[in-house]
Chain A
Amino acid sequence: EAGVAQSPRYKIIEKRQSVAFWCNPISGHATLYWYQQILGQGPKLLIQFQNNGVVDDSQLPKDRFSAERLKGVDSTLKIQPAKLEDSAVYLCASSLVRLSEAFFGQGTRLTVV
């Protein structure tokens, strides 16, 4: 079975620029998560989708971050404008059943300079 696909793997941008990350979950997985992981810390949940509805986005900085999940499958996470403190690895995960075992992609490492 194919895993969770994320792109790009690496991205370097200047502050105040915008950036978008893409995630393709495992086929049939209804739940999709986006996490931000700063070096040395645990993954911080940004947003959780159930199909194409938002379950929790309480920690998503909505003034600069946005996310959508079209047709309950692929998802994009956007940052506009980026700040230096957004430098982190952005992880996408999916699970078949809500809150069951989550499968993670390899992540996108974002560096804001």
Chain B
Amino acid sequence: SQQGEEDPQALSIQEGENATMNCSYKTSINNLQWYRQNSGRGLVHLILIRSNEREKHSGRLRVTLDTSKKSSSLLITASRAADTASYFCATDRSPLMDTGRRALTFGSGTRLQVQP
């Protein structure tokens, strides 16, 4: 089963605009990660935010985490055509509520298309 669910499923914007993607999850986590996948480079790690952090920045990326709402958002500012890809959130889900056995579980992804 998928732990995270991204929203929207697909997003199309113009180059230079900002893109915001959201992720919701169900169980408690220690950290949440965002990954990008395009046909050329496969799955690549973007950023990791811990459960005791609320916001994190990396270049044009800004990630927020709200553990009370079990949700996270990824903001890409000043988007470029090269940002066209699928974006996934991943959490360290505890299978069967066994917190001693956390596994890295991905959501269903947001497909971002940046028009030049």
Contacts and interface: CB of A to CB of B under 8 A. Distances in A.
B39 to A, nearest CB: 11
Interface stretch (B14-22, B64-72, B74-82, B88-96): B88-96
Interface residues of B, number: 25
Contacts of B52: none
Contacts, number: 57
Interface residues of A, number: 25
A101 B105 contact: no
B33 to A, nearest CB: 7
B2 A44 contact: yes
Interface in B84-112: 88, 90, 92, 95-96, 101-109
Contacts of A41: 108-109
Contacts of A93: 43, 104
Contacts of B43: 43, 91, 93, 104
B102 A99 contact: yes
A33 interface: yes
Contacts of A102: 33, 35, 45, 90, 104
Interface of A: 33, 35, 41-45, 48, 55-56, 58-59, 91, 93, 95, 98-107
Interface of B: 1-2, 30-31, 33, 35, 42-45, 48, 88, 90, 92, 95-96, 101-109
